[in-house]
Amino acid sequence: MSLRRPNGRPVACDNCRSRKVACDHRQPVCKRCIDRGQEAECVYTSSVPRKRPLSNQATSRAAVNQHGAPRTAGPSPGHRLGSAEDDRALRRAEFRQHAHVDIHGSRANVSSSPLETHHRVYSIESPLDPNGRRRQSTNHDLAPSVTTTPGGHLPSDRASTPLDQTSGYLGFTSYSSVFEETENSLSMLQGFHAWLPQGTNTRLRQNPDQIPRYLCSPTKEMCLVVLRGIPSPNIGHFEIVKDSPFFRDGWLRVTAQRVLADLHERFGSYLGSCRVDSQLEDIALFLSDNTTKPFHESEPDPEKWIGQFTGPNLRWESLGLIFSYGELTFSDTNKPYDGFDSKLAKKEWLEISRVCLGLCMDLSRRFASANSLLAQLSQRRSTLESIHAGDASYSTWRSGAESVALATFLGMHAESNSPSYEPSLASESRRRLFAQMFVGEKHAVLFTGRPPRLSHRYAFTPLPLDLRDEDLLKGGEALREAVKSLDENGWNTSGKMYSATFTRARYIIALIQDELVEIGIGKARQKVAGALLRDLKDRHVEAVKEFPASLAYDPADFADPDSNVNMIFARILLQLEQLQNLFLVERMLSKHGEVDEGGILLIAFKLVSLTLLFWTHKDRFAPFRNDFEWLVMAFATPSGGILCMELLNPTFKGSHPKNPSITRSNIIQHLSLLIGFLEWIDPSRPNSDLCATASAVMRRVLDHVLNAANENMSWRPEAMEDMQLDLSLELFDTFDWMKHDVMTSQVMEN
């Protein structure tokens, strides 16, 4: 069956139509294209009058093969269609599809030729499959699957998504502000509120019958890639971390585990070792239809709020929660079977989770408006991107900007602080998420020196209350009792550290840090800046004094082998962030002409000492290995530069007058350990180049200082005897070259 134009005449192939020559309409390849040797470029597209350039069309075009089935292809990673030539290139790429297609790190072997699009079978070898078996997938009416990366999709397929159609948060200067004030005035005068027509937002709710039409390539390909990345039942699970102060270990991890269990319970037979595309498409339709349902942000009941994206209401955002964790634990029960490698599975999962998380976010944008769950995924994606590409990379900076854009679009920076506020899991999650975004954004700004995207001047959201995740999940009377037990400042009175306790403290420090950044990289007069910095220092000290005792770092914690490593890490990190603020203050005071009285050296020495704990106790801090590069570069390296300057230009003799433990010898020892830490970073890690550069500079400083000292010294034999190099250690005593007489005889013999 041939396609027809609106006037009833057969459609010419794209090649003939672009050249404005006659076409004989033969399918699948016309005679003119055969004669010109352009069979691969002969594609038939339905003829629709264009009122706009091809790159701006709102609907995707479908090519047909000789059986009348649509011939589709997803875009190559990172490719965007911008012209008719690009469109033809995309279709040529599909026509020339090779027998091997790489799908998120796994090699897919297509058993049929590129022309046989009606029935395809391919197999994927992946350590995520149980028993190490190949999984076969049958593709009906669909071209071979290709890897689709976030953002690499057709404009026609992205046009006019629900997220693009909503207005989001509108502030005081917005176009609607005056009208809202007028509405409120009329409401008070007339005694009713429904005098304006209410928007139906019908565009935001797709008709279920229209969902299959939206699942066209590349959307369908994105769905299939995501669903192929879901671990099979009884293969992977999330370990629940108890007594952890980190938000990623709270209700989010519990919910991700619940989502994975619900998905396996409902579609477990579809997600085994052999996955068929037609069945995966059924799951995609189910998820897409649920994603179009409105997400109620202000639902006070925690179970109903979570129920919006779990159980029968699974959405694409729900699957995103699964992929937002790069540390999925794979069961060891599959080791007896040939071909399963849990270590390889973990390594593969890191890449699969990063790609599929981005695809889940893209799919959510296609079928739903923005919501706080999507904002959670965006924040997690930014973190994963920093681990993958490095903290100074463009992709990390861009993903962080997207998180900030989504948060401000949803109004998370201006959450309500009314006296009648009643906390719930939904509202507290929004407060915590904004606090986490603000803290992360400040760290990114300090690491790169780039202008901030969030400012304390526009952050009106109150601090999250210091509540346990368990109480938020229970809700009701348990939550009300927990709120009553808080002190007047919102801290818990139990003396324990929860995820909210840690987040509150970091947010308070970050708010002061943002004011320091404003002075450091913004425009400020010298006199004004000096006064502001001294005021900020006092405010910082007073704010830290108000922190609960549970947040204080105690070196004695290392003496207890049973102490919670999560708690120790959190306390050290909080101490580092406090010292970082003081380091910035002292550094900027010196920059603006203030006399340095040695305060910056004291702070720098503490920063280096604390950061080195992660390396000297690296086995104990193994769960945080992915953070080591950032920690050493963000906190220790700038401080190491101050220690280097002290060696090159000494400001004291002997011991430091304000801290006797700071001596020239100790500084050299700390720098030597810091060089070892920097050089220990794996060269394959994204920040390894930064670490190598910093290490090289410090090594040159030590070489210069130590070599210069040796050149100015003339050792006499009597002096060496007085030094008593015999250390009374059995191992060292075996090395007789340490004694002067032995060295002298060896020199004479040579």
H helices present in 660-729, as ranges: 664-680, 688-711, 717-723
Has residue 709 been placed in a domain? no
Q: What is the DSSP letter of 313?
A: G
Has residue 555 been placed in a domain? yes
pLDDT single digits (tens) 383-402: 999 988 999 999 999 999 99
Residues 6+ positions from 378 with CB-CB distance below 8 Å: 361, 399, 402, 403, 406
- Asked if residue 286 and residue 350 are part of one domain, the reply reads yes
- Asked if residue 433 and residue 373 are part of one domain, the reply reads no
Buried b (16+ CB within 10 A) or exposed e, 277-299: bebbbebbbbbbbbbbeebebeb
Has residue 497 been placed in a domain? yes
The residues of the chain scoring below 70 in pLDDT are 1-3, 7, 46-167, 169-216, 331-342, 524-527, 709-750
- Interatomic CA distance for residues 423 and 164, integer angstroms: 30
* Residue among 189, 180, 64, 51 nearest 118 (CA): 64
Has residue 88 been placed in a domain? no
Residue 170: predicted pLDDT: 66
Q: Are 507 and 288 in contact (CB under 8 A)?
A: no
pLDDT single digits (tens) 601-640: 999 999 999 999 999 999 999 989 989 999 999 999 999 9
If you compute the radius of gyration of the chain from its CA atoms, what whole number of angstroms results? 32
DSSP labels, 86-139: HHHHHHHHHHT--SEEEETTEEEEE-S-TT--SEEEEEE--TTSGGG--EEEEE
* Residue 18: CATH number of its domain: 4.10.240.10
- Interatomic CA distance for residues 706 and 713, integer angstroms: 11
Domain boundary among 595, 617, 639: 595
Q: Which residue bears the tokens 């672009």?
A: 18
Buried b (16+ CB within 10 A) or exposed e, 734-745: eeeeeebeeeee
- Interatomic CA distance for residues 351 and 326, integer angstroms: 8
Q: Are 28 and 118 in contact (CB under 8 A)?
A: no
- Asked if residue 561 and residue 440 are part of one domain, the reply reads yes
Residue 345: predicted pLDDT: 76
Q: Are 318 and 310 in contact (CB under 8 A)?
A: yes
- Asked if residue 349 and residue 449 are part of one domain, the reply reads no
- Interatomic CA distance for residues 333 and 115, integer angstroms: 42
Residue 365: predicted pLDDT: 93
Q: Are 596 and 658 in contact (CB under 8 A)?
A: no
Domain boundary among 390, 423, 440: 390
Question: Where would I find the beta strands (DSSP E) of 111-228?
Answer: 119-124, 135-140
Residues 6+ positions from 83 with CB-CB distance below 8 Å: 54, 55
Has residue 691 been placed in a domain? no
Residue 61: predicted pLDDT: 39
Residue 132: predicted pLDDT: 42
Has residue 341 been placed in a domain? yes
- Interatomic CA distance for residues 588 and 595, integer angstroms: 11
Contacts 24+ apart (CB under 8 A), 44-53: 44/2, 44/3, 44/11, 44/13, 44/14, 45/3, 45/11, 45/14, 46/3, 46/11, 47/3, 47/5, 47/6, 47/11, 47/12, 47/17, 48/6, 49/6
**Does 28 sit behind a cis peptide bond, omega within 30 degrees of 0 on the bond before it?**
yes
- Asked if residue 526 and residue 439 are part of one domain, the reply reads yes
Count CB neighbours of 45 within 10 A: 18
Residue 595: predicted pLDDT: 73
**Three-state SS for 64?**
strand
Residue 94: predicted pLDDT: 40
- Interatomic CA distance for residues 385 and 400, integer angstroms: 9
**Three-state SS for 13?**
strand
Secondary structure of 462-476 as H, E, C letters: CCCCCCCHHHHHHCH
- Asked if residue 263 and residue 319 are part of one domain, the reply reads yes
Beta pairing class for 659-663 and 135-140:
unpaired
Residue 694: predicted pLDDT: 92
Q: Are 608 and 639 in contact (CB under 8 A)?
A: yes
- Interatomic CA distance for residues 568 and 560, integer angstroms: 11
pTM over 0.85: no
- Asked if residue 359 and residue 223 are part of one domain, the reply reads yes
Q: Which residues pair with 124 in a beta bridge?
A: 108, 135
- Asked if residue 418 and residue 352 are part of one domain, the reply reads no
Cβ-based burial of 85 (10 A; exposed 0-12, middle 13-18, buried ≥19): exposed
- Asked if residue 376 and residue 429 are part of one domain, the reply reads no
- Asked if residue 588 and residue 439 are part of one domain, the reply reads yes
- Asked if residue 375 and residue 418 are part of one domain, the reply reads no
Amino acid letter for position 75: P
Has residue 91 been placed in a domain? no
Domain tally for the chain?
4
Q: Which residues pair with 120 in a beta bridge?
A: 139
Domain boundary among 572, 595, 618: 595
Q: Which residues pair with 329 in a beta bridge?
A: 237
**Does 75 sit behind a cis peptide bond, omega within 30 degrees of 0 on the bond before it?**
no
Q: Which residue bears the tokens 């033969």?
A: 26
- Interatomic CA distance for residues 673 and 636, integer angstroms: 11
The domain in which residue 234 lies consists of 162-167+205-390
Has residue 76 been placed in a domain? no
> Between the CA of residue 251 and those of 102, 192, 245, 373, 468, what are the distances in Å?
35, 40, 12, 13, 10
Q: Are 441 and 378 in contact (CB under 8 A)?
A: no
Q: Which residues pair with 10 in a beta bridge?
A: 4
- Asked if residue 477 and residue 330 are part of one domain, the reply reads no
